Amino acid sequence: MTRVSCFLFLMLGIICLASTNAPAVLAQENIDCGYPLNNDERTYCAEKALKDAEAKMAAAYVKLHAKVVEMDDALPEHLKGSPAALEEAQAAWSDYADKDCKAYAFPFMGGTRGQELYRNCKIVLTMTRTEDLTATLDDYGN
């Protein structure tokens, strides 16, 4: 499998993982993520928010990928390549987001604040990427 194919497989896996109800999640149902009281609750809520954001991004990516495959099929041979370009762009975005958030949180990585800042950064960038993927799909006419 190529790196791009592996990435697409990973994105689909995120959707599947996000849709399962693991026992650990059931044990955390009583946590109010609108007002987490301690570091454990903040960590749980941030991880939950990141998984939710990643699942939404993966869903937007899958929809856009399907659209560009459809569009690509209708193009002359010399204009084909949108799906591969999108796959490469998503892989590059993932690498960028990870490195950017590591750089952002780096001064605090010696303590619990570093992981919190890293996760929060990833949440924001992932939500922004989801908006970008959705806007591109809208541009292509759904």
15-48: pLDDT as tens digits: 444 444 444 443 556 888 887 788 888 888 899 9
Domain count along the chain: 1
Asked whether residue 30 is assigned to any structural domain, the reply reads no
Distances (CA, A) of 24 to 21, 30, 44, 133: 8, 12, 10, 31
User: What six digits make up the tokens of 109?
Assistant: 């990585």
What whole-number distance in Å separates Cα of residue 60 and Cα of residue 43?
A: 26
Per-residue pLDDT tens digits of the chain, which is 142 residues long:
455 554 544 454 544 444 444 444 435 568 888 877 888 888 888 999 999 999 999 999 999 999 999 999 999 999 999 999 999 999 999 999 999 999 999 999 988 788 889 999 999 999 999 999 999 999 998 6
Query: Residue 90 sits in a domain of what CATH number?
Result: 1.20.1270.180
pTM: 0.77
Domain span at 122? 3-22+39-139
